[in-house]
Amino acid sequence: MNRWTDISDAGARAVFADYFAKVDRLLAPRASEAAADVRRELEQHALDALAGGTSAPEALERLGAPEDFLPDLVAEKLRTRAARSLMPGHIARALAISASTGVTGLVVSSLAGLGYAVALLALIMGVMHLIDPDSAGVYRMPDGQTLIGFGKSPGDVDIYGHWFSPIAFAVAAGLYLILTLAFGWVKIRKPEGRGRQHMTD
């Protein structure tokens, strides 16, 4: 049997329909090859259990509630894909999905997002400096302080000169690479809950 829709028993089909509607709902915002792969595998797992003589409700109960393991699994697959491809689209998707999996995911994604923002800023500054050296750079101000920013004021000294753009590009590329690899391989784990609790008083 390839699909749960092939199940002949109407009751079992209804149980599967309910379960995989939940799976689809959880995977919907994660429409990707990774999500399709996960769905196909879960479906085959449940169908194998059914073929082995397990009832439909028991097969799905053994598999577990999809909301307990699916979001983290898909987020991890997307992070791994982003680390391998290094494509901005994949990274953005992995950031968004990881942020939606819980507090830990949100914190990790926010920190990574902040890092990417810095990398983007370095890139923009590098390009601006190429076009107009006075528009962005590292300047020493007349009072001796050093400023990294946009717009050279009268009296400021451009510290790196023509080297600023290559340095900015190298910083942007390095940061992008390090963040993507680190984000791709980080293991986001939820804090474990305590077991069942009984009110005895």
Which residues pair with residue 139 across a beta bridge?
A: 147, 158
Of 73 and 138, which CB lies nearer to other proteins in the complex structure?
73
Cα 1 to Cα 42: distance, rounded to the nearest angstrom? 13
Footprint of other proteins on 135-174 (CB under 8 A): none
Residue closer to other proteins by CB (options 163, 185) is 185
Under rule CB under 8 A, residue 77 binds other proteins:
yes
Nearest-angstrom CA–CA distance, 161 and 2: 65
Among residues 13 and 140, whose Cβ is nearest to other proteins?
Answer: 13
Residue 135 near residue 150, CB atoms below 8 Å = yes
Is 100 an interacting residue with respect to other proteins (CB under 8 A)?
Answer: no
Return the number of the residue (84 or 162) whose C-beta is nearest other proteins: 84
Among 26, 70, 82, 99, binds other proteins (CB under 8 A): 70
Q: Report yes or no: 98 and 108 within 8 Å, Cβ to Cβ.
A: yes
Taking CB under 8 A as the criterion, the residue among 32, 66, 105, 109 binding other proteins is 66
Give the nearest distance from C-beta 111 to other proteins in angstroms: 20
93's torsion region: left (phi>0), alpha (psi -120 to 50) or beta? alpha
What is the Cα–Cα distance from 107 to 113, expressed in whole angstroms?
10
Residue 191 in the binding site for other proteins (CB under 8 A) = no
Q: Is 196 in the site for other proteins (CB under 8 A)?
A: yes
**Considering the rule CB under 8 A, would residue 8 count as an interface residue with other proteins?**
no
Residues 6+ apart with CB under 8 A from 187: 76
Smallest distance from other proteins to CB 116, Å: 21
Q: Which long-range contacts (CB under 8 A, 24 or more apart) does 18-24 make?
A: 19/46, 19/60, 19/63, 19/66, 22/65, 22/66, 22/67, 23/66, 23/70
Q: Rule CB under 8 A: which residues touch other proteins?
A: 1-2, 37-38, 40-42, 44-45, 47-49, 52, 62-66, 68-70, 72-73, 76-77, 80, 185, 187, 194-201
